[in-house]
Chain A
Amino acid sequence: MSEHVAVVEKRGLITPFNVITGLIIIGGLILTVMRFTGGLSSVTNLDNYNPWGFWIGFDLLAGVALAAGGYTTSAAVYIFGMKKYHAAVRPAILTGFLGYSLVVVALLYDVGRPLRLPYPFLVQQGPTSVMFEVAACVGLYLTVLFLEFSNAPLEWLGIKKVARIISKLTIVLTIFGVVLSTLHQSSLGAMYLMVPAKLHPLWYSSFLPVFFFVSSMIAGLSMVIFESAISHKYFHHMMDEEHKKTADQLVFGFGKAASALLAGYFAIKLIGVSLDHNWGYLNSGYGYWFLLEILGFVLLPCICYAIGVREKNKRLIQITAAWTVVGIILNRLNISLVAFNYHLPDELRYVPHWMEICISIFLVTLAVVAFKFIVTRMPIFFEHPDFPDPHH
């Protein structure tokens, strides 16, 4: 491990990465001050017709879906016994943990009174609300992810006793994580069940919770492939032999699973259109947009993944993974922004303010910096020699 650290320290502070992230963080801090001193209207285009904007669509809905790699990977390895993907668990858990942390921080920006965020648990509960379920599950799951992730810093700091206890909890934590993820991934879709009159019929469906849950697994698998491709480019020196050896297996295995899930997802999306008898809407502006989403970002990646697996084309699978991630973001933005309030005249519709987008970029940058800090120091891409995984 000491060699790994030495490599990091040799580089200077003035690197292109540090300069760019530094500038983004300075800009983000300025916008943060504006947001918390001037109110939501000083940095957002939110209004009474459009109470939820880019932060909910991108940071919350897409963010939670893309952070699903944690539960999908740990379930595959620890529950479903696919031990050959063992090396992928820690990076996936870390990505999930940072993703959910980003979501919670983004919510602090979005809600009117951020200091009251614990109110639904501490002051007055609203258990009839779907959002109560989302809040409870996200809160608990963040705790689970924190515990699952905590192994890495504990080993890094050499706190052996606690690290061994956490390691023994692996299976329980994994099961707990899958239960909580099933609940809140689907509940994010269930929130939009409330608005049948406001959401375009092609996107509104009583199956919204199922759509959200199934697509979260697709997002999770694709993010693991995508993240692994990037990590191999930039953090190759941090990886141990097992990680390097199993990386290709992971790409093909997860690519195969994603292809199958996309096929199922495509089928239930069509069933959704069929059961609500929405075929007529397809021949309209919104219909074309919907077709673009399910043909271009569901069916196409489904086929590309399958071809990539069959022909052992790693590059194609990695590109498809990135494409699928874009598709999931598109789907969440379609539901929260594009198809929402479709009945309102153009002048009452919402377009995000550039400062909203910049704050989202700022938060994502913080997560990337944290990821880099952690993987260049802690045992994420390699197994700590003192702590072999007993479940391996």
Chain B
Amino acid sequence: MDKSRRQFLKILTGTTVAATVVPKAAEAASANKHFEGYPDGLGVLHDTTRCIGCRQCEEACNKVNDLPKPEKPFSDKFVFEQKRRSETGVFTVVNRYDGVGPNGEDVFRKFQCNHCLEPACGNACFVNAFKKTKEGAVTYDASVCVGCRFCLLACPWSLPAYEYDNAYSPVVVRCTLCRPRVLEGKLPGCVEACPMEALTFGKREDLLKIARDRIKKHPDRYIDHIFGENEIGGTSWMYLSAVDFNKLELNTNVGTTPTPKFTAGALGAVPMIVGLWPVFLTGVWAMNKRKEKIAADEKATAVAAAVEQANAEADEKLKAAQEKANKAKEKAIDAAVKKALKDAEKALAEEKA
């Protein structure tokens, strides 16, 4: 352990605090790349086969983070009667799983934020309050937090806690991987306190080597799986176990896809919808507008034609009537002339007689 500690001190010497943003989901989706984590990212390996449930890690965590003292002392083993979880004021807990070991013995497992390589909380947060630092810790910036709790919902481990009883300035509470201590060159409180070396702190790459080595050397002692190596794209806290991880409430159902990948498709569709929907909708509107215009034009033409036809017909009728009237008039004049002539002839004949 001393060696790895010296190594990581070396890494940190001259390293300024530089919070680096997790690669954006869109980038991860567009480029066919897999983010393997920051090369020198630090983490912790929790060997559950070594854990004896002494709760000294809990006590150290409480002390180094200045958390409120619990009612019962940390030496109290009756807390194991219940399953506990991280809460406000409690960054980490150890739970006991009765008789699940290979020989029926109890197994202990420590809970805390797993500091995922591509954290779901970071992808969920709409004010970008969570950042994966290149040193390994996922940091949280309470000064921008709106309190929507999407991070709690999104976390596949349900590990963050929220101050529901705080009316005015509630914040999200979780393990910080003792980032302030690590930057000072110290070990995380829990790792330093562990008397069984069940917790190993170091570069994640080295931790994976150590874990593989242990499995290789003691195939009887471990199942051949490092939980957190690939789960949801990898985590900075990793676990070794003698039994199925599900028995220790480490859900193997989470798969190996980093959470940001699940929403990358939906988010990628946004610019397409913004770009194409107005074109499509304006097109439909224009087509309908045109249809209406054509319909209106056709109606106008039809009406005009009908009016014209009616006018022509009326003209013809008028003409016919006029002709008829003229003829009748002529006839009448003719008759009148004839009658006048006849009358004149008659008068002339009478005169002669």
Residues of A within 8 A of B (CB): 36-42, 44, 46-49, 51-52, 75, 78-81, 110-113, 116-117, 119-120, 123-133, 135, 171, 175-176, 178-179, 182-183, 186-187, 190-191, 193-198, 206, 209, 343
Does B309 belong to the interface (CB within 8 Å)? no
Asked whether any CB of chain A lies closer than 8 Å to the CB of B273, the reply is yes
| B-chain residues with CB within 8 Å of residue A116 when the two chains form the complex | 144-147
Tell me the minimal C-beta distance from A345 to chain B in angstroms.
Answer: 9
Interchain CB contact under 8 A, A179 and B278: yes
Residue in B123, B171, B251, B277 whose CB lies within 8 Å of A178: B277
CB atoms of B123 and A129 under 8 A apart = yes
Residues of chain B in range 279-293 having any CB-CB distance to chain A below 8 Å: 281-282, 284-285, 288-289, 291-292
Chain A binder among B99-107, B150-158, B181-189, B345-353: B150-158
Q: Provide the bound-state CA to CA distance between A110 and B156, in Å.
A: 22
Across the interface, B147 reaches (CB within 8 A) one of A79, A80, A113, namely: A113
Verify B149–A80 contact, CB threshold 8 A: no
* Cβ contacts A to B, 24 pairs, < 8 Å: A38-B165, A39-B170, A44-B164, A48-B87, A78-B285, A79-B281, A79-B288, A80-B288, A81-B288, A112-B148, A123-B144, A124-B144, A125-B127, A126-B129, A127-B24, A130-B263, A171-B285, A175-B277, A175-B282, A179-B277, A179-B281, A187-B266, A197-B254, A343-B251
The answer to whether the Cβ of B120 comes within 8 Å of any Cβ in the partner chain is yes
Contact A126–B128 (Cβ < 8 Å)? yes
Interface check B160, CB cutoff 8 A: yes
Q: CB-CB contacts of B55-71 with A at 8 A, as 1s and 0s?
A: 00000000000000000
A175 touches B267 (CB 8 A): no
Whether the pair A175, B124 counts as a contact (CB closer than 8 A) is no
- Is A113 within 8 A of B277, CB to CB? no
A59 smallest CB distance to B (angstroms): 14
CB distance from A136 to the nearest CB of B (A): 9
Interface centre among B87, B259, B277, B292 (most CB of A within 10 A): B277
Task: Determine the chain A residues whose CB is within 8 A of the CB of B289 once the complex forms.
Answer: 81
Query: Chain B contacts of A117 at CB under 8 A?
Result: 146
Evaluate contact between A39 and B164: CB separation under 8 angstroms. yes
| Docked-complex contact B285 and A129, CB < 8 angstroms | no
Tell me whether A175 and B285 are in contact (CB under 8 A).
yes
Q: How far is the CA of A52 from the CA of B263 in the complex (A)?
A: 19
Cβ distance A221 to chain B, nearest Cβ, rounded Å: 18
Q: How far is the CA of A130 from the CA of B263 in the complex (A)?
A: 7
- How long is the Cα–Cα vector from A339 to B202 in the complex, in angstroms? 39
A183 and B278 alpha carbons, distance in the complex (Å): 13
Q: Is B260 an interface residue when CB atoms closer than 8 A count as contact? A: yes
Please report the total number of B residues contacting A with Cβ < 8 Å. Answer: 64
Whether A131 contacts B148 in the complex (CB less than 8 A), given A194-B123, A197-B251, comes out as yes
List residues of chain B with CB under 8 Å of any chain A CB: 22, 24-26, 85-87, 120, 122-129, 144-150, 152-154, 156, 158, 160-167, 169-171, 251, 253-255, 259-260, 262-263, 265-267, 269-270, 273-274, 277-278, 281-282, 284-285, 288-289, 291-292
Q: Which residue of B lies closest to A81 (CB)?
A: B288
The answer to whether B166 touches A175, judged by C-beta atoms less than 8 angstroms apart, is: no
Task: State whether B146 touches A36 (Cβ < 8 A).
Answer: no
Contact between chains at A81 and B291 (CB < 8 Å): yes
> CB-CB < 8 A to B85: which residues of A?
48-49
Instruction: Using CB atoms, name the residue of chain B closest to A130.
Output: B263
The answer to whether A113 touches B146, judged by C-beta atoms less than 8 angstroms apart, is yes
Q: Is the CB of A123 within 8 A of B259?
A: no
Q: Which residues of B contact A197 (CB under 8 A)?
A: 156, 251, 253-255
A116 to B85, CA, bound (A): 29
Pick the contact of A51 from B162, B281, B282 — CB < 8 Å?
B162
The reply to whether A112 and B146 contact each other, CB–CB distance below 8 Å, is yes
Give bound CA distance, A81 to B149, whole Å.
43
The 7 A-B residue pairs with the shortest CB-CB distance, nearest first, are: A112-B147, A81-B288, A51-B149, A51-B152, A126-B128, A190-B266, A41-B164
B282 closest partner in A (C-beta): A175
From A111, A113, A135, A183, B273 is in contact (CB under 8 Å) with A183
Please give, as numbers and ranges, the residues of chain B lying within 8 Å of A176 by CB-CB distance: 278
For B285, list chain A residues within 8 Å (CB). Answer: 78-79, 81, 171, 175
In whole Å, how far is B268's beta carbon from the nearest beta carbon of chain A? 11
User: Which residue of chain A has its CB nearest to the CB of B274?
Assistant: A179
Q: Is the CB of B156 within 8 A of A198?
A: yes
A78 and chain B: residue at smallest CB distance: B285
- Contact status A48-B158, CB under 8 Å: yes
Q: A79 touches which one: B265, B270, B284 (CB < 8 A)?
A: B284
CB–CB A186/B266 < 8 A: yes
> CB distance A36 to B126 under 8 Å?
no
